[in-house]
Structures are given as C-alpha cells and as structure tokens.
Structure 1
Amino acid sequence: MDKLRGGSLGGGGSSSGAPSTAPGHEHHQLEQYQYPKNLIEQYLRASSKIKKFERAGFFKRFAPSVVDVQADFQRLAYSFEESGIQQYAAMCHIGYAKCESYGGAPQRESEAYLRAARSFLAAHNESGRLHLRTRHSGFREGAVHCYHRAADRAVDGCVFKAAILRELKQLQRQLDSTSSFASPTHQIHDLEISAETSGQRGDFRSALQHYDDIVDNVYERRGARMYGELLRRVEVLRLLLLVHLNLPPARQSPAHIKLIEYYYNLAQFESLPCSADDGGSAERPGAFVPEQQQYALAEITCAWVERKMCDLKHLLRDFGAEFGSLSDMERQLLAVMHAELARSY
C-alpha cells in the first residue's frame, strides 16, 4: 500500500491506471478558464481609478497616478485584442484617451480614439461573421462616436485628420441605409463645418442656427452623454453668439432664453452649477460645461444683460486667457467680440 501510495504521489499514476491531475495543473486550468473574467475585473479596477481621479477635483495629490492608470489601460487593450474581445479593447483605448486628455495631448488622445473606433468596428464585423442573433448596432454606433471624437481632437488640416474622416466616410456609407442613424451622427460633422464657415465670413446668425441644429440633433436621439465635449463647445459658442448678436427677446427661441436665464441666475447666485454627473438631465444648460467655465460665462452674461460693456470687454479677454483648451472657433469668436467692443469702450 505504501509503495502504491508513494507511486501515485510521485509518478503521477494511480492504481486504476487513470492519470491524476497535479494541484499546479488544476490551478493553471482554473486560471485559463477565468482568463477573460480576470481581464474584465482588471478593466473595472482601472475604470474605478480614473473615476476617482475625475472626482478628486482640486485634491489631485490624493488621486491615483494618471500615468499608472494609462499604462493599465494600454496593457489591457493589447490583452483584450489578443483574446479577441474587441469591444473591451475599444473601451480600454477610450480610457487611455481620457488619460491623455488630462495631460493636454490632443494628438495622442485622437490616436487612442481612432484605435477605439477600429476595435469597435472589428467587434461589429466579428458579430456579423458569427451570424449572432443578438447582433445589434451598438458596436457600430460606438465606432462612429469614437471616429468623431478622434477627428475632433486631431489638429485641423493635418493628414491624420483627413485619414480619420476618410475611414468615417467609408463607415457612414454603410449607415446610409439604416434609418436609426439618420440623426444625429450623420449631420453633426457637416453642421459644425457649416457653422464654422458661417462664422468665418461673419454670418453669425447662420452660425447660431447651425449650432442650434446640432443640439437638436443630439437631443433627438437622447445621445447627449455620447457628445459631451461637442455639447460643451457648442453651448459656449451659442451663448457667446447670443451676446454678440444682442438679439431682442422676440427674436430669441425658448432654448436661447433658457440658456441666458440659466447663466444669469448663476451669476446672481440664484442657482447652482449643474453637471451631467449629478443625476439630473443631460439636456440642461451647463450639463457638460466645467464648473469654472460656467461661472466665467455667468459673469459674461451678467455684464451683457446689465449693459456693463467695459466689464464685458475685459471678461471676454480673461475668458480666452484663462482656458487653454478652447477650440479655434471659440477663440476666433472671442477675438471678434473683444475687437468690436474695444472700438467703442
């Protein structure tokens, strides 16, 4: 019995001739079985770290290191790609892009969003090849969103941005026959280009109309949270255009009046700054505008409503100097408004 017991433990055999499984081998098999699950758990941990960083506010020294979180997302993205789980690879690339946004590197942020778009597209194509009954447009919609984000963060006029738009154009050809994508995705880019063109030639009323159409298109499909940065930029431009055009109340739409009232009340301390993360509607004014920008815009609105034009001139200049992340269109409009006020005040 001792020899049999010893042989069973030492040689890996048994009295019945069936091979036994060593504990280390069982552990290895268990790890293999749980491999995707372990990766997803790591992704969730990395995501929770970046949320902690976002919530840290002014107490950045208590937040996790952005560099470490970024390295986690990069490693996990490659692991998911090797495992063929493309949708999670895409989400890791998005996490990587968010880390780049904190470092003020728009080109690398754009490249990360492009990788995310390609991963979402690969997930969509793979589900089609497998003829999955549960196949839906979510991956394709994610790809379109990431292509738009990549184009938005890329430098205007560069070859890289042109390549992004070519890929997006190829994808949108496939979407033309799908009615659920008729709005807002198809029209947003063209509307923003039209608004910028109108602004450059001084047709600010047309520019305002185009920006209003962008907001309507996004809200129509309840897609506000997918276009947070776009809605931030458009809200700032709409408010500045309303101040610049100085339209009488009869010429303002209900949305214009609501926007002006929100920022004026904020300046009078009759309301608190809102956010898309506070559990309320993402379609309210200020939902995607950072709190500091909201207060600065509130001061601009108050000076305009109360006809304090000298104060308005200085506030416009300070707004452009304080926020380095403003788009070229925002800076151009601020310069036009400041120059016009400087001629009279």
Structure 2
Amino acid sequence: MTWQCDVQQAWAWSQDASNVLIDVRSIEDRISTGMPKGAIFKHWSDLREDLDSLITAHQKILVICAVGQESLDFCHQLNNPALEGKLYSVEAGFDGWFMEDLPVTHCDATEERQRYDRQMRLKGFGQAGQDKLSASHVLIVGVGGLGVPSLQYLAAAGVGEITIIDDDVVSLSNLPRQVIFESDQIGKPKVTAAKSWVEKQNPGVKVNAINQRLSQLNAPLLLETVDLILDCSDNFQTRLTINQNCMKLSKPWIFAAITDFEFQLSFFDATDIQAPCFCCLFPEVDARQDRQCDTLGVLGTTPGVAGILQANESLKYLLSLTEPLKGKLLIQNLLTHQSKVIKYRARTDCPHHRN
C-alpha cells in the first residue's frame, strides 16, 4: 500500500483546487521557516477529527510534517485500504520541500495560536477546546496554597474569566507555598497581588478580584454567574457555604484539603440531582473543627500538587475530556507516594442533599 508522494508531486497536486495540502508542524517551525505555498494548517487532533469531511471534500489529502516521518506514521496507523490513493504523506517533509526550492509563504499566526499551540495539539482539544476555555468563567475561593497553583494553571491554559475571592493579605509565612507573591507585596491584599500576576503572565484572561470572605450574603450572586467553583479555602464553614449554594444553584465545584503530607480531592456535581454532595461525603463535618486547621503544619509542595490537580479536574470538566472525580475521593500521601480512590454515594438522610 503506497502512502507517500515526493515533494514535487505534492506541489503539482496542490495546484489543483480539488486537492488539499495540510501542514501539521509546530507553530514555532511554521513561523521560523514559513509554510508550503497553498498549504493550510491543522493540528494533528483537528486532522484526525476532520479526516472524514476532508476525504469527502477533496480528491487527495497531502500531509506534510518536518521530515516526513510523523505524517507517514499517521497514515500507517490509520491502515485503511479505503484511503489508498486519497491520503498521502509528503516524503522528506518540509525539509525536502525547502531543499527543492519549492514556493514558501510567510506564516502569520495569532498570539492565541502561538500561546496555546501545544495544548491545542491534544486529541479532543484543538481550536474548539480552546474556544470552550476562552468562554468559561471559574470562581476560585481562596488565594492561598491551593488557590495559587490552581489560578496559575487555569490562567495559563486560557480560561477566559476567573474570579478570585479572599479577604487575606500577603504575609511572610505565605511565600514558601504561594509562589506568585513576592516579599515587597507583604501586607497587600492577596487578590490584588494575584490579579497583577495573571495580567502580566496572560493579559488575555479577565480577572475579577474580590477582597472579601465568601459568605451566605455574597455567595449566591458570585456563584450564579460562573461555570465552575474551586474550593481552595482552609475551613469547613466556607466549604459548607459553597456546598449549600451550589446545591441551590446547580453548580459544580471541586474540593481539596490538606493534612500534613496528604491531600484529598473530589468533584461535586450539583447539576446532577443524583450525585452526592459534600455533606454526603462528610456527614459529621462541623464548622467548629476549623480551629484545628490553624495549628497544622504544611510543606509547600503538598498544596502545590493538590492545587494543580484541582486545575486539572477543572480543565477536564470544562473541556468534557473525561469523567471527573464525581462520587470519588482521591487521597494521596506525598511522603509515601501511596494513593487511593474511595467511591461514595448520595446519602438518603443528608439534610443538604436534594432527594
């Protein structure tokens, strides 16, 4: 089965409008060297998803990568006899195209394309996934050891709007864990410092900074306008407030908590009336237990890992990549590297759960 054509043949075929030449190289390569004249760009993920429609619309599909190997592997992986004579890997890739002195055009890539290129290459992501993130609004409750890494990775991924709420100020003891803050920001509101950091790192993300503590008074209005809530607080009273209001407003939220070198993580989906809530998992929780949290020690890497996993669960949910940790509690010890996932169900006797 022949899957290859040489660059001269690819150039000749690409002059016919019934055929299409697709450049799948990285954004860095295309900007530095240009693109074959007449070629269009697609990420591998988009090419896989669009292949059927491309076959319907074109006589021949010519795929060009850097040296011809990735595109050939792609054809071999498909291993579909029906594609013979339709799908071709351009032998020697762009290197061969360049050496044959075939026409090249300048690549104009938007800032968004350049910034998010690597994640947009993932299967199931592409431009559609990036558009989903750009249209998403996430609320992060607490900008501390959990909230900082969550904020960093959600902003870096291009979540379009992030609201952060916290009434605390930066202190010297925060710096080993909350690594976006600097010594000269001690005494400043955390939300102000965090907003400034995001605006420098990714100006395309809108950040709403609220220098308050989440309460029953402000929670309904804040939660109503967002797609997802991250509980990055350090107290049960805030979690109970989040749970109660998410149940009322049918909003999903992600919980994380730290104890010594161990963290817990779970996803509560209040959009699903059958899904368990926070109080189904922790029926004996009492806000009076908050006083115990103040005396605990913590190493910065523990909330750092947990916060990144909160961001990861957020991206999974916003992109509909796979089932989140709904009805499951992840417990992981970073000292022993032991981890387990505990399944739990909605409790019929839970006073907070909608039966």
| Structure 1 length-normalised TM | 0.28
When Rg is computed on C-alpha atoms for both structures, the one with the higher figure is 1
Between the two structures, name the one with larger relative contact order (CA 8 Å, sep ≥ 6).
Answer: 2
Greater helix fraction, Structure 1 or Structure 2:
1
